[in-house]
Amino acid sequence: MLKKVFLIFGIIFSVHILALTLLNPYGPTILPVSFITNGEIGRHLEVSFWRTPEEAVASIKVGKADFYILPITLGANLYSKEFDIVLLGVHEWKVFYMVGKQEISDLKDLKGKTIYCAHTRGTVVDVLLRYILEEAGLNPDIDVIISYAQPNEIVSLFKAGKIEYAALPEPFVTMITSSKSGKIVLDFQKEWSKSTGLLERIPIAGLFTTKSFLKNHSLEAEYAELALWVSTEEMNKRKEEAVDAALKILKMPKSVLINSLSRMVFYYIPISKCKKDVEKFLKVLHEKYPEGVQKLPDDGFYWIK
């Protein structure tokens, strides 16, 4: 049914829709766009990939794409730096975990430990890690050493026995647990819910564009939204097909990606229907860890149709 809705939309507006580009992270968020990358959904939408936040920011500066999948915190921080960027909706809600060599009975057990964190300082997982440590009474960078590396490097170091704890997104968590070199010791989504009283989900990443693009291309924005929504819903219904499509881009065992889906949650919600979730998320992080979310965005950050 969803594909039929999208097909009808595409036929009606195919004469008017431009050739569009979407810049997507290289990692688990390939799964929700897998039916776009394989050509089944959104034939007007071409997907390319960024591997680091710095690469994503550089691409936005030069206008490399029409649409961007970004972490919500990165988007908010760019907006506060007067980047021409606006949030259309959220589609990633659960993906972060901490793995360890052994269980921890209390977060204070992490005092004096080194935790490796995916990517760089200021990413969503880094901000959440620091927030959760502070909530447990630990001072990040004093009570705990936080080091940074790319997820694949962290997995290799963990398997080699050189890392004791790591904060990672799926499917890199499953790469470690499936090798028996480590186990999940912390669910970031559960910790977030416990500390805030909010739902056990986090508005992690979503669909962005620029206000200058929206000014003349609101139809294309609706097309991109619908494409992401339909592709994400198809992923949830046809997981093995989504994995097969994603593996043409991602290089990892199929079993790892399949198993990791049980700990990832994707579903697209337009910002008009989840603005409060995002505002609460950013507000809590800004209050508890202002270095991670420097300034709360105003209403101009959100595309409310």
pLDDT, tens digit (0-9, with 9 covering 90-100), for 210-261: 999 999 898 899 999 999 999 999 999 999 999 999 999 988 889 999 999 9
What is the pLDDT at residue 287?
86
Give, in order, the Cα–Cα distances in Å from 54 to each of 51, 70, 74, 90: 9, 12, 10, 21
Q: How far apart are CA 159 and CA 154, in angstroms?
A: 9
Confidence of residue 190 (pLDDT cuts 50, 70, 90): very high
Confidence of residue 292 (pLDDT cuts 50, 70, 90): confident
Confidence of residue 58 (pLDDT cuts 50, 70, 90): very high
DSSP code, position 164: S
126 pLDDT exceeds 50? yes
pTM given for the model: 0.87
Contact between 242 and 235 (Cβ < 8 Å)? yes
What is the pLDDT at residue 19?
85
Q: Where in the chain is the domain with CATH 3.40.190.10?
A: 2-95+204-301, 96-196
Please list, residue by residue across 82-103, b when 16 or more beta carbons sit within 10 angstroms of its beta carbon and e when fewer do.
eeebbbbbbbbbbbbbbbbeee
Beta-carbon contacts of 230 under 8 Å, excluding residues fewer than 6 positions away, are: 2, 3, 5, 6, 35, 41, 42
10 pLDDT exceeds 90? no
Q: How far apart are CA 205 and CA 215, in angstroms?
A: 23
Q: How far apart are CA 222 and CA 244, in angstroms?
A: 27
Task: Give the CATH number of domain 2-95+204-301; options: 3.40.190.10, 3.20.19.10, 3.40.640.10, 3.40.50.20.
Answer: 3.40.190.10
More confident residue, 295 or 14: 295
Confidence of residue 9 (pLDDT cuts 50, 70, 90): low
Q: Across the chain, what does the average pLDDT equal?
A: 91
Q: How far apart are CA 75 and CA 205, in angstroms?
A: 9
Q: What are phi and psi of 293, to 5 degrees?
A: -130, 95
Distance of CA 29 to the CA centre of its chain: 6
209 pLDDT exceeds 90? yes
Name the CATH architecture for the domain at 96-196: 3-Layer(aba) Sandwich (3.40)
Confidence of residue 121 (pLDDT cuts 50, 70, 90): confident
